[in-house]
């Protein structure tokens, strides 16, 4: 119902083609006003938000799986406590985002059913395995780092509930990024074997992290309309470039090598030139053929099925309370 039906061809409606309501709405966006749930909005705006916020919520929840995999194997008690807190934060982010999506008139159950039926996506990055402890460092450093790059501008997105959810999420993401970088520092300054693990994690996560920003601008289906509506503030390539420019000096500080022979500083543009990710691999992962897609969906289905009795109990309790005479309250 949502994801696959919202297609922008990259051509936007001209002012002359807009209805008076659409033109007034666009004026509000252009003035930088926030849109709130009770306000009139074009159906495409509502559906685009449901798609993006819903996918974002799913990503947070599925994103618990690769890191949750290491909670029982964290090397120290302190690392275990930190990782548990981080994974719990991701569940919280999912909750804020599902709640923001619900303000658009869609239920959380419907969104989850769309995910489980393959009608909605989640971020490609979570279809890669976490093979060593260094991967937990690389995820915090690169994956949360990429997430922050994408989400800081979204604090200024046009839809109020989404923008407000982002404020809190970004605060927590910066802690996540730092804990990942702290793990990488420890590993990079450790034994030769630990250093090798850190480099190997960077080698495996670098290009998947670049894919998190979405296809290149020339292939992005939704960017033009989403940017006109300020659902997105920056294009996919702009954010990818900023991420590379920010991350290369961090890798240098660690003494690690970014696995890209084409990476070099471009004085004229004031940023790095770098290789694009393998877009064929990206599309394969989106089609469900990444290394962990089947495992991730199986885990989500199991959690949904095993939680059915909790949902039923909560619904029964709420119905009982609603039926109770007011005087008895």
Sites of contact with ligand BYC (CB under 6 A): 3-4, 51-52, 55-56, 59-60, 63, 90, 121, 123-124, 143-144, 147, 150, 211-215, 220-223, 226, 232, 236, 286
Q: Which is nearer to ligand BYC, 35 or 328 (CB)?
A: 35
CB of 18 to ligand BYC, least distance (A): 21
Q: Torsion-angle region of residue 270: left (phi > 0), alpha (psi -120 to 50) or beta?
A: left
CB of 323 to ligand BYC, least distance (A): 39
Distance CA 26, CA 144 (A): 32
Helix axes 77-102, 43-62, angle to 10 degrees: 160
Q: Which is nearer to ligand BYC, 132 or 223 (CB)?
A: 223
Q: Which is nearer to ligand BYC, 59 or 130 (CB)?
A: 59
Residue nearest to ligand BYC (CB): 63
Q: Which is nearer to ligand BYC, 131 or 314 (CB)?
A: 131
Distance CA 60, CA 325 (A): 40
Q: Which is nearer to ligand BYC, 119 or 195 (CB)?
A: 119
The 3 state secondary structure assigned to 74-99 is: CCCHHHHHHHHHHHHHHHHHHHHHHH
CB of 320 to ligand BYC, least distance (A): 36
Distance CA 180, CA 143 (A): 9
Distance CA 149, CA 176 (A): 13
Q: What is the CA radius of gyration of the chain?
A: 21
CB of 63 to ligand BYC, least distance (A): 2
Q: Which is nearer to ligand BYC, 123 or 130 (CB)?
A: 123
Q: CB of 124 within 8 A of CB of 212?
A: yes
Q: Which is nearer to ligand BYC, 222 or 300 (CB)?
A: 222
Q: Torsion-angle region of residue 82: left (phi > 0), alpha (psi -120 to 50) or beta?
A: alpha
CB of 266 to ligand BYC, least distance (A): 24
From residue 29, give the alpha-carbon distance in Å to each of 108, 154, 268, 292: 27, 14, 34, 39
CB of 59 to ligand BYC, least distance (A): 4
Q: CB of 299 within 8 A of CB of 65?
A: yes
Q: Which is nearer to ligand BYC, 164 or 195 (CB)?
A: 164
Closest CA to 154 of 140, 170, 138: 170
Half-sphere CA count of 65, side-chain side, radius 13 A: 23
Closest CA to 52 of 6, 105, 89, 19: 6
């Amino acid at each position: 119902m949502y994801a696959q039906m919202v297609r922008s061809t990259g051509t936007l409606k001209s002012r002359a083609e807009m209805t008076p309501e659409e033109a007034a709405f666009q004026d509000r966006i252009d003035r930088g006003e926030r849109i709130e749930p009770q306000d009139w909005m074009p159906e495409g705006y509502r559906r685009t938000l449901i798609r993006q916020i819903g996918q974002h919520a799913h990503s947070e929840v599925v994103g618990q799986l690769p890191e949750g995999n290491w909670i029982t194997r964290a090397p120290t008690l302190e690392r275990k406590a930190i990782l548990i807190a981080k994974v719990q934060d991701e569940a919280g982010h999912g909750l804020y985002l599902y709640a923001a999506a619900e303000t658009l008139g869609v239920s959380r159950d419907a969104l989850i059913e769309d995910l489980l039926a393959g009608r909605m996506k989640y971020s490609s990055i979570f279809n890669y395995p976490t093979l060593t402890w260094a991967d937990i460092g690389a995820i915090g450093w690169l994956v949360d780092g990429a997430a922050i790059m994408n989400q800081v501008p979204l604090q200024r997105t046009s839809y109020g509930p989404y923008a407000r959810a982002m404020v809190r999420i970004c605060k927590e993401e910066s802690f996540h990024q730092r804990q990942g970088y702290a793990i990488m520092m420890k590993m990079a300054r450790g034994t030769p074997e630990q250093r090798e693990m850190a480099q190997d994690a960077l080698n495996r996560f670098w290009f998947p992290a670049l894919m998190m920003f979405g296809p290149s601008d020339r292939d992005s289906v939704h960017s033009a309309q989403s940017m006109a509506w300020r659902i997105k503030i920056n294009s996919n390539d702009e954010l990818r470039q900023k991420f590379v420019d920010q991350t290369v000096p961090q890798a240098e500080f660690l003494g690690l090598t970014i696995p890209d022979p084409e990476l070099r500083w471009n004085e004229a543009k004031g940023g790095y030139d770098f290789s694009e990710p393998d877009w064929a691999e990206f599309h394969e992962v989106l089609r469900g053929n990444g290394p962990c897609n089947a495992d991730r969906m199986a885990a989500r289905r199991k959690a949904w099925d095993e939680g059915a009795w909790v949902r039923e109990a909560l619904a029964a309790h709420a119905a009982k309370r609603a039926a109770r005479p007011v005087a008895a309250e």
